[in-house]
């Protein structure tokens, strides 16, 4: 498990480290991710919780829906993590907080039905209407 990824918030109060390759990297176009990140979409890398730790500071967690919770820096407000309540063995980190985001290549688009109409991404990645079970667009 020689691969590792580190990152943190804008002010540096919260830092994290993930050992090993991510289980997935995706772009999410759902309204909740857009609003939580204040951007047109969010890009996430999913890691095993067993290989993840905070190396500095502690984020604040908030249950953002019936199925998930999100973490942010209590000092600067940076969106840091997303975690599905039924899958506590994985944690997603926002690519924008990764020290070297170029090493984590997105593999797909989720919730593509929610993509903002003026956003055009010609990356040839699979696009799923909602999640992988809902089928491709």
Is there a domain that residue 24 lies in? yes
pLDDT, one tens digit per residue, over 77-135 is: 999 999 999 999 999 999 999 999 999 999 999 999 999 999 999 999 999 999 888 88
pLDDT confidence tier of residue 1, bands split at 50, 70 and 90: low
Question: Does the residue 133 lie in any domain?
Answer: no
Instruction: Give a yes or no: residue 132 inside a domain.
Output: no
pLDDT band of 11, cuts 50, 70, 90: very high
- Around Cβ 48, how many Cβ atoms within 10 Å? 15
* Dihedral sign (CA 100, 116, 23, 54): positive
In a domain, 137, yes or no: no
Instruction: Domain count for the chain, please give it.
Output: 1
C-alpha 129/C-alpha 137 separation (Å) is: 5
| CATH number of the domain within which 95 lies | 2.170.150.70
137 confidence band (pLDDT: 50, 70, 90): confident
In a domain, 84, yes or no: yes
Question: What are the pLDDT digits (tens) for 25-76?
Answer: 999 999 999 999 999 999 999 999 999 999 999 999 999 999 999 999 999 9
Which residue segment(s) compose the domain that 105 sits in?
Answer: 4-124
Give this prediction's pTM: 0.93
Residue 110 in any domain: the answer is: yes
pLDDT in tens, 98-113: 999 999 999 999 999 9
Confirm whether 136 is domain-assigned. no
- Whether 131 maps to a domain, the answer reads no
List Cβ neighbours of 20 (8 Å cut-off, separation of 6 or more).
Answer: 1, 3, 4, 47, 48, 51
């Amino acid at each position: 498990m020689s691969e590792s990824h580190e990152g943190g918030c804008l002010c540096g109060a919260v830092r994290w480290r993930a050992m090993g390759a991510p289980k997935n990297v995706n772009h999410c176009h759902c309204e909740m991710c857009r609003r939580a990140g204040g951007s047109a979409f969010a890009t996430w890398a999913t890691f095993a919780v067993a290989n993840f730790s905070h190396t500095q500071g502690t984020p604040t967690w908030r249950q953002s829906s019936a199925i998930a919770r999100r973490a942010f820096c209590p000092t600067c407000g940076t969106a840091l993590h997303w975690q599905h309540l039924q899958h506590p063995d994985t944690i997603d980190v926002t690519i924008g907080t990764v020290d070297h985001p170029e090493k984590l290549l997105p593999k797909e688009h989720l919730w593509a039905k929610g993509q903002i109409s003026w956003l055009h991404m010609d990356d040839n990645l699979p696009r799923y209407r909602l999640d992988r079970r809902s089928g491709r667009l």
